[in-house]
Amino acid sequence: MAKMLILTGPQGAGNHLWSKVLSLHPEVYGWKTLLENYWEAHRFSEPFAQHWRDHTLLKSFDWSQSEYYFTSISLPLGIVDHDVNPIWMPDLQGFSATVLGCGIEVEIAVVGRDQTILTNQQTRIRTQPTLSLFLEQLPKIWNPTFLSYELLYLYRQDYLKSLKLNIPVAWDDSRINEILADDANAKYIHNVDYNELDNGNKQGITFKTRP
């Protein structure tokens, strides 16, 4: 039976980054054009973009092209309070059910990123945080596999090698280091010169309450 991995998560949680990594394997039918460009718009370039809008197109899709398929979608998708690109909540359950109806095994992976960074990123780009909209959808996702933006950068190939997904992962691909060359978290993080617990940590002092 052919298999599909559906990647989802909040806006700005590393969807494009993970899409590059999980599309690397030559046996995976994924977002290959994204590997040639730094960034592409999901609604125009992701290979299943039209199928997310119209699930019935999945029934006429040529599933003989591969044994492994990958697609990604953010929940929600779009720009808040923007007349041209209004916010949109894709029907993850409907899409998954239609893929299953085509005889394709489905696994859903949820990407995560630091919540403070997500709030800042979404406010900057979407005009307001949209994390709460994703969290409303999370209980509806059955048995998801969780993927971490921070662990990907911290442990890299070792982390990718440990993943047990329903599609093969090219953890040893030489392009991994190129994809991970710039950590987008860095621009949100600043050095802390001093914290109240520093001296206690250095001297082994116990604090019963926060100093």
**Residue 179: which CATH number?**
3.40.50
Q: What residues make up the domain containing 140?
A: 3-203
Report residue 72's pLDDT band, with 50, 70 and 90 as the boundaries: very high
Mean pLDDT of 106-120: 96
123 in a domain, yes or no? yes
The residue count of the chain comes to: 211
209 in a domain, yes or no? no
Whether the Cβ atoms of residue 27 and residue 168 lie closer than 8 Å to each other = yes
Q: Decide which of 28 and 209 is more confident.
A: 28
Number of structural domains the chain divides into: 1
Q: Which residues contact 111 (CB under 8 A, 6 or more apart)?
A: 7, 8, 9, 10, 13, 14, 15, 18, 146, 147, 148, 149
In this predicted structure, the answer to whether residue 80 has a pLDDT above a threshold of 60 is no
63 in a domain, yes or no? yes
211 in a domain, yes or no? no
29 in a domain, yes or no? yes
171 in a domain, yes or no? yes
